[in-house]
Structure 1
Amino acid sequence: MRKLMDQGRMKGPENRSRRGRRRKTAGHDMRDRWMITYADLITLLLIFFVMMYAMSRLDVEKYDIVTHSLQSTFKSGDSLLEEGTGITGSADRFNHKNPSPTAKEGNNRGTEQQGKESNSNEKPMTERELAFRKQEEQLHNLMGLIEKYIKDNGLEDQIRVADLPKGISITLSDRFLFDAGKADLKSGSAKTLSKLASLFSTLDTVISIEGHTDSMPIGSASKFKDNWELSGARALSVLRFFIDREKLDPEHFQYAGYADTRPTADNKTDAGRQKNRRVEITVLRQLQQ
């Protein structure tokens, strides 16, 4: 009996150590078991995607059918923003504004045909229309000749020319034409006025001559009462040169004096007053009746 107890005591510690080792091994195995499941899952996914890739194939014929169907649908439908019927043809069916593609083609052809017919049936211009066209050509040539004359003779500071809606305007400075406070033409201006007269002789229109002054009152030594008389007398002197010396038709002329009522610059400065003292000759855009 005592021997059995001694053997039991000797085997007890050994058994306990073995059971501890078994528990540690079993716990270690339990902690690493999830890796087996994870590895199996990854392997299965890899096999799944390989099989899907091997089975996939693009059906070119079906792709072309779908593509052409979508293209024809969007081309045949009109815009909803313009009160059209939309892609399905059901929207705004009672407020249809956009013509169908066939109607558009028909309208385009009709427009082209109308354009051809209108060109073929275009009425010839009347005599008055032809006269206006001829006058525009004359005015264009007149402006070119005057600009060339001014440049060739270095008169840019004395004469200005402009194409205005009412006609070709030729502005001459009073220093080029007159002495201060006088209305008699200077002898040096005769050459230029004669050149203008030669250009005016071929025109069938009205030529307006306007005299302008600055706002300074007339001096006591002048024979003119005020700027009204001075501006009118200066315009009349230019008119007399054209009809008396150059023998132009008086019916093609008119003249007026405006004193200082139509300034082109500030009368408070010397330079502005100098610009305002002028004679304007305008070849009007109108035909003689």
Structure 2
Amino acid sequence: MALNKQKAPEPEESGDGWLVSYADMMTLIACFFILMMAFANYDPAGFSKKAEELSKSFNKDQYKSSDIKLNELSDEVAKHPDIEKKAKITVKDSELAITFSGSVLFGEKSPDIDSEALPALDTLIDIIRSRDPNYKIIIEGHSDPYEFRSMPGIGSAWELGALRSAKVLARFEYLGFNPQKLVAVTKGDTEPVAENVDEKGQPILENLPLNRRVIIKVIEPIGEAQKIKFGLGVYFNEQTNP
């Protein structure tokens, strides 16, 4: 007589599996709100810093490459004997700034580059071009409130700053830089590094030469659509090859 074999009952599927996915989702939502709370402050500078750090964490190689190149360029420029004693060199926020006092590049009350300063300027331009001819260059001209007043044909500190920055730009172009990668701007006497006048409103003569300066800013080209902004304007907006 055949025995009837009873089939063992299969275990029922648990209906609680969805709880795992739900818990994961809630964890992610909680992390999102924690992150939002971390950014929830009313300090624009602090927010910008956090945003920059977050951007760097997602683009580590890009930022690393840019910073390394600019620091290497800065070291090469700073070590050159024609430049090291004539310029102040800083690297900040992926930008190399080379500051020449007005008395180095220009004679007093002169809009033209001094012939004795040309070798140092040409050397600087050659170093930048040899590193990468695709660098973006912004040249800022600064003045004091008084120098232009004894210069025929120049009506303001704005004009003097513009003229001097344009002269430096022309030298970059003359030595082979693409003019589309060059911008000259003027700050006039609006950004002094030292007080122009004392409490009685009299000029502080030893400070005036410090405020007559030209700043050459070197910016690493990054990304396919490169935009370099200043104030409300856009200096560069072009397609570049990576």
Question: Which residue pairs with 2:78 in the alignment?
Answer: 147
**Equivalent residue of 2:119, what SS?**
helix
The CA distance in 1 between the partners of 2:87 and 2:165, in whole Å, is 16
Tell me, yes or no, if structure 1 residue 254 matches structure 2 residue 175.
Answer: no
**Equivalent residue of 1:271, what SS?**
coil
Q: CA deviation at 1:271?
A: 2.5
Q: How many residues align?
A: 160
Q: How do 1:90-239 residues align onto structure 2 when only pairs under 5 Å count?
A: 130-149=61-80, 152-153=81-82, 155-156=84-85, 158-165=86-93, 167-201=95-129, 202-203=131-132, 204-216=134-146, 218-239=148-169
Q: CA deviation at 1:148?
A: 0.7
The CA distance in 1 between the partners of 2:196 and 2:77, in whole Å, is 28
Asked if the contact 1:181/1:222 (under 8 Å) is kept, the reply is no
**Equivalent residue of 1:186, what SS?**
coil
Asked if the contact 1:211/1:280 (under 8 Å) is kept, the reply is yes
Change (3 A) 1:217 1:143: closer
**Equivalent residue of 2:164, what SS?**
helix
The CA distance in 2 between the partners of 1:154 and 1:136, in whole Å, is 21
The CA distance in 1 between the partners of 2:215 and 2:194, in whole Å, is 15
The CA distance in 1 between the partners of 2:62 and 2:76, in whole Å, is 21
Q: CA deviation at 1:270?
A: 2.1
Change (3 A) 1:217 1:173: closer
Percent of paired sites with the same residue: 25
TM-score by length of 1: 0.51
- The AA in structure 1 aligned to 2:170 is R
The CA distance in 1 between the partners of 2:151 and 2:125, in whole Å, is 33
Provide the alpha-carbon RMSD of the alignment. Answer: 2.3
Change (3 A) 1:221 1:193: closer
Q: What are the superposed Cα offsets for residues 184-218 of structure 1, whole Å, 9 maximum, x if unpaired? A: 11111111111111122133331110000012262
- The AA in structure 2 aligned to 1:145 is E
Tell me, yes or no, if structure 1 residue 241 matches structure 2 residue 171.
Answer: yes
The CA distance in 2 between the partners of 1:174 and 1:197, in whole Å, is 18
The CA distance in 2 between the partners of 1:227 and 1:166, in whole Å, is 29
The CA distance in 2 between the partners of 1:135 and 1:218, in whole Å, is 39
Asked if the contact 2:109/2:150 (under 8 Å) is kept, the reply is no
Q: CA deviation at 1:247?
A: 1.3
Q: How do 1:26-65 residues align onto structure 2 when only pairs under 5 Å count?
A: none
Question: Which residue pairs with 1:49 in the alignment?
Answer: none
Question: Which residue pairs with 2:232 in the alignment?
Answer: none
Q: What are the superposed Cα offsets for residues 232-286 of structure 1, whole Å, 9 maximum, x if unpaired? A: 0000000001102x01111221110111001111112222211100000011255
Q: CA deviation at 1:166?
A: 5.2
Q: What are the superposed Cα offsets for residues 171-192 of structure 1, whole Å, 9 maximum, x if unpaired? A: 0011111122221111111111
Q: CA deviation at 1:134?
A: 2.6
- Whose strand proportion is higher, 1 or 2? 2
Tell me, yes or no, if structure 1 residue 270 matches structure 2 residue 205.
Answer: yes
Asked if the contact 1:239/1:255 (under 8 Å) is kept, the reply is yes
Question: Which residue pairs with 2:50 in the alignment?
Answer: none
Change (3 A) 1:221 1:162: closer
